[in-house]
């Protein structure tokens, strides 16, 4: 009886050791090629290659200094369908918004999301789940545009306008009243 239990335990341990693990791998801004525009926009490219066979979860985390909206795409390509370079995306989420497009089963897959809200100073996540058949890769790109913030000159004109409106409201016209003597 003892030998049967030990054999079953060793068999289960060997099965667990052979099964591909779905480990989460985290990436940050250092793993992304980021370009800042003078107008506050940001564009980035990112991706991974040489993803070994099995399930994977990659999570890109970053924060931005301004609120706004972002859009992005993730693509895969392979030499041969279900060959060693084929990679299937099973799901992709950007701040909880699921990307749409061609998932799993194709030689080339493209998924995308548009106008995803971004809040300043909050951690943002892009979560990529997939299956690699041996030496898979994917690439992504994203763009960010901050919400409209008035320029300093516009603020000055707006404050000046409020001041003029307030002065006009305070100004009272004095009417001189004269009485005729009878």
Tokens of 20: 């591909």
Rounded CA gap, 27 and 128, in Å? 11
Under the banding of pLDDT at 50, 70 and 90, the label for residue 10 is very low
38 pLDDT exceeds 60? Answer: yes
* Dihedral pair phi/psi, residue 74, rounded to 5°: -135, 135
Domain boundaries, the chain: 18-154
Yes or no: say if 89 and 111 are a contact pair by the CB < 8 Å rule: yes
Tokens of 53: 């066979």
Place of tokens 């951690």: 123
Domain covering 18-154 assigned CATH 1.10.760.10 in the classification: no
> Which of these ranges, 6-20, 54-68, 166-180, has the smallest mean pLDDT?
6-20
pLDDT given at position 149: 57
14 pLDDT exceeds 50? Answer: no
Average pLDDT for residues 93-109, to the nearest whole number?
Answer: 85
98 pLDDT exceeds 80? Answer: yes
Tell me if residue 129 falls in helix, strand or coil: strand
Yes or no: say if 109 and 75 are a contact pair by the CB < 8 Å rule: yes
pLDDT given at position 108: 87
42 pLDDT exceeds 90? Answer: yes
Strand 109-118 and strand 68-76: the pairing is antiparallel
pLDDT given at position 90: 92
pLDDT given at position 142: 93
Instruction: HSE, CB side, 13 Å, CA atoms: give it for residue 111.
Output: 24
Q: CA separation (Å) from 149 to 45, 120, 145?
A: 26, 13, 11
- What confidence tens digit (pLDDT) does each residue in 118-163 have? 988 999 999 999 999 989 999 999 999 998 755 566 556 667 666 6
Rounded CA gap, 116 and 122, in Å? 14
* Dihedral pair phi/psi, residue 23, rounded to 5°: -85, 145
Yes or no: say if 56 and 47 are a contact pair by the CB < 8 Å rule: no
Under the banding of pLDDT at 50, 70 and 90, the label for residue 78 is confident
């Amino acid at each position: 009886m003892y030998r049967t239990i030990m054999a079953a335990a060793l068999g289960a341990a060997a099965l667990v050791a052979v099964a591909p693990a779905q480990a989460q791998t985290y990436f940050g801004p250092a793993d992304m090629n980021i370009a800042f525009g003078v107008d506050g926009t940001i564009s980035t490219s990112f991706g991974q290659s040489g993803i070994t066979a099995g399930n994977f979860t990659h999570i890109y985390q970053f924060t931005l200094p301004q609120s706004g909206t972002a859009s992005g795409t993730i693509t895969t390509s392979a030499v041969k369908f279900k060959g060693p370079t084929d990679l299937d995306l099973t799901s992709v989420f950007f701040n909880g918004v699921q990307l749409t497009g061609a998932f799993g089963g194709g030689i080339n897959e493209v998924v995308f999301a548009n106008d995803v809200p971004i809040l300043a100073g909050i951690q943002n996540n892009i979560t990529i789940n997939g299956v690699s058949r041996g030496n898979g890769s994917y690439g992504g790109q994203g763009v960010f545009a901050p919400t409209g913030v008035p320029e300093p000159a516009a603020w000055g004109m707006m404050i000046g306008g409020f001041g003029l409106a307030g002065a006009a409201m305070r100004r009272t016209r004095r009417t001189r009243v004269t009485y005729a003597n009878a």
